[in-house]
Amino acid sequence: MTKVDFLRHIVNYVLAQKMDVVKQVADDVRKIVEKAENKYNFSAFGGDVKKLVDYLRSPDFDELAKFLKDAGKLDVLEEILKIAREKYKDIPEIVEAIDARLKTIAKAKLEVKEVEEAYKEITRIVGDRAIVERIGNTINVNIRGVGTVIVSYDPVDKSYSLEVEVSTSKKKVGLETIKAIIEALLLIRG
């Protein structure tokens, strides 16, 4: 059996192929995996590739998954694991650990899709009247001169939470505007 190294032959290969991955993200992925390789000793050169199982089942791998999820690049991790699964197909323990991680990634991709759809809809609604940014499962809406709205998605409950901070004053507003604002605030209160 030829020596296939997880970091050098799989991770680096995938990162080199993915032209849409920002260099800093790729560098950070390499650092995270290199640190794990040193800790778990799963290098094909002087270590034991079977120890990759320990890494795949560890909180350290969760860190890599979270980093790539937050960067919007779960597809990179999915491809790394699919190639690793093929390369290590003769080692059942590794295949089993990879399959478990692939299932977790599939669920996480659904969460990302949910938040991405909400982000697109909020961006469409506000147009150029606000700055909208997405960080992980949180969407921040900065309405210039009015305040902020923070929308957070909870993947466990599959629900959103809302935090609204209004800091504005306006003179000479009509009763309809006042009623609409009060109705909106009462709607948030529930």
Closest CA to 16 of 31, 30, 32: 30
Looking at residue 43, its pLDDT comes to 94
Give the Cα separation of 155 and 136 in Å (integer). Answer: 11
Q: Which of 63, 97, 113 is the last residue of a domain?
A: 113
Q: Tell me the whole-structure pTM to 2 decimals.
A: 0.67
Q: Do 106 and 63 belong to one domain?
A: yes
Q: Do 98 and 155 belong to one domain?
A: no
Looking at residue 12, its pLDDT comes to 96
Q: DSSP letter at 19?
A: T
What's the chain's average pLDDT?
90
Q: Do 10 and 92 belong to one domain?
A: yes
Residue 1 within any structural domain of the chain: no
The full 3-state SS of 108-130, as one line of letters, equals HHHHHHHHHHHHHHHHHHHHHHE
Q: Do 142 and 82 belong to one domain?
A: no
Q: Do 47 and 85 belong to one domain?
A: yes
Looking at residue 2, its pLDDT comes to 54
Residue 49 within any structural domain of the chain: yes
Looking at residue 185, its pLDDT comes to 78
Q: Coil, strand or helix: which one is 163?
A: strand
Residue-wise pLDDT for 16-68, tens only, equals 998 888 999 999 999 999 999 999 999 999 999 999 999 999 999 999 998 99
Instruction: Please give the radius of gyration of the chain, using alpha carbons only, rounded to the nearest integer.
Output: 22
Looking at residue 140, its pLDDT comes to 94
Looking at residue 99, its pLDDT comes to 97
Which ranges of the chain have pLDDT less than 70?
1-2, 190
Q: Do 135 and 185 belong to one domain?
A: yes
Q: How many domains does the chain have?
A: 2
Residue 72 within any structural domain of the chain: yes
Q: Which of 87, 113, 139 is the last residue of a domain?
A: 113
The CA–CA distances, whole Å, from 76 to 104, 136, 173 equal 14, 16, 51
Looking at residue 3, its pLDDT comes to 85
Domain extent at residue 44: 6-113
